[in-house]
Amino acid sequence: MFHQIMNIISLWTLPLILILILTLGLVKKVPLYEVFTDGAKEGFKVAVNIIPYLVAIIVGISMFRASGIIEAIGQLLTPLLSHFNVSADVIPIMIVRSLSGSAALGVFSDIAHNSGPDAYTTKLAAVMVGSSETTFYILAVYFGAVGISKFRYALIAGLLADFIGIVAAILVCNYMF
């Protein structure tokens, strides 16, 4: 039941928002087509603007992932984290989820398929992936679009919050499952 309600919500949110914007625009006599295309013009420019920032960060992260260092860190952390019911499979997610969203989702799919639906590991991995955004990607795209190259404390704050999220995920899952 709850599941069906959720499906309806996620299916209808977007169409309803569009209807709301367009109807309100029509009522207020906004020239819809003209204003839409005028705003949409920016799309190409913004996308091209972020390329240099994306290249710097995505190449760096791709090299980092290819170097095998994430596995090495994982091995170092395994003994410590096994105290908290965290299996070695989940550790790559903890490291990778701030770096690459698609990679984190890939690791999560692997865990889900290998450990099966009843495993605690699957649940923990699901919560960890579901509760986070890819910090480095957001940073590159948002700041890249406006040409900010000095992040000040933005990255540290984002990563600290990610870390707190990981700890919270471990504690919450230990308690609930």
Partner 1 sequence: MNYIFYILITISIIAGVVNGKLPDVVNAILTGAELSVKVAFSLIGIMAFWLGMMKIAKKCGLIKIIAKIIKPITKRLFNEIPEDSPAIGDIAMSFSANALGLANAATPIGIKAMEELQKQNIDKKSASNAMCMFLAMSTAGFQLIPATVISVLISIGYKNPTEIIAPTLLVTTIAFLSAITIAKIFQKIWAPQKETIYNNEKYNQGGEI
Residues numbered 61 to 120 that lie near partner 1 (CB under 8 A) are 61-69, 72, 105, 108-109, 112-113, 116-117
Q: Report the distance separating Cα 49 and Cα 59, nearest Å.
A: 17
Q: How far is the CB of 9 from partner 1 (least distance, A)?
A: 7
User: Tell me, what amino acid is at 80?
Assistant: L
Q: How far is the CB of 36 from partner 1 (least distance, A)?
A: 4
Nearer to partner 1, 20 or 80 (CB): 20
Backbone angles phi, psi at 118, to 5 degrees: -95, -10
* Binding window for partner 1 (CB under 8 A); candidates: 19-27, 74-82, 88-96: 19-27
Query: Of the candidates 2, 8, 79, 83, which one interacts with partner 1 according to CB under 8 A?
Result: 2
Q: Report the distance separating Cα 98 and Cα 119, nearest Å.
A: 24
Question: CA torsion angle for 101, 104, 110, 111 (degrees, to 10)?
Answer: -140
Determine if 20 is a binding residue for partner 1 (CB under 8 A). Answer: yes
Q: How far is the CB of 120 from partner 1 (least distance, A)?
A: 12
Tracing tokens 């919270």 back to the chain, one arrives at 168
Determine if 8 is a binding residue for partner 1 (CB under 8 A). Answer: no
- Name every residue whose Cβ is closer than 8 Å to that of residue 133 and which is 6 or more positions away in sequence: 101
User: Tell me, what amino acid is at 34?
Assistant: E
User: Tell me, what amino acid is at 120?
Assistant: Y
Query: Of the candidates 25, 85, 88, 120, which one interacts with partner 1 according to CB under 8 A?
Result: 25
Query: Of the candidates 24, 75, 78, 82, which one interacts with partner 1 according to CB under 8 A?
Result: 24
Q: At 126, list the tokens.
A: 């699901």
Q: Report the distance separating Cα 54 and Cα 141, nearest Å.
A: 7
Query: Of the candidates 32, 76, 80, 82, which one interacts with partner 1 according to CB under 8 A?
Result: 32
- Report how many residues bind partner 1 under the rule CB under 8 A: 98
Query: Of the candidates 8, 15, 19, 41, which one interacts with partner 1 according to CB under 8 A?
Result: 41
Nearer to partner 1, 88 or 162 (CB): 162
Q: Report the distance separating Cα 8 and Cα 5, nearest Å.
A: 5
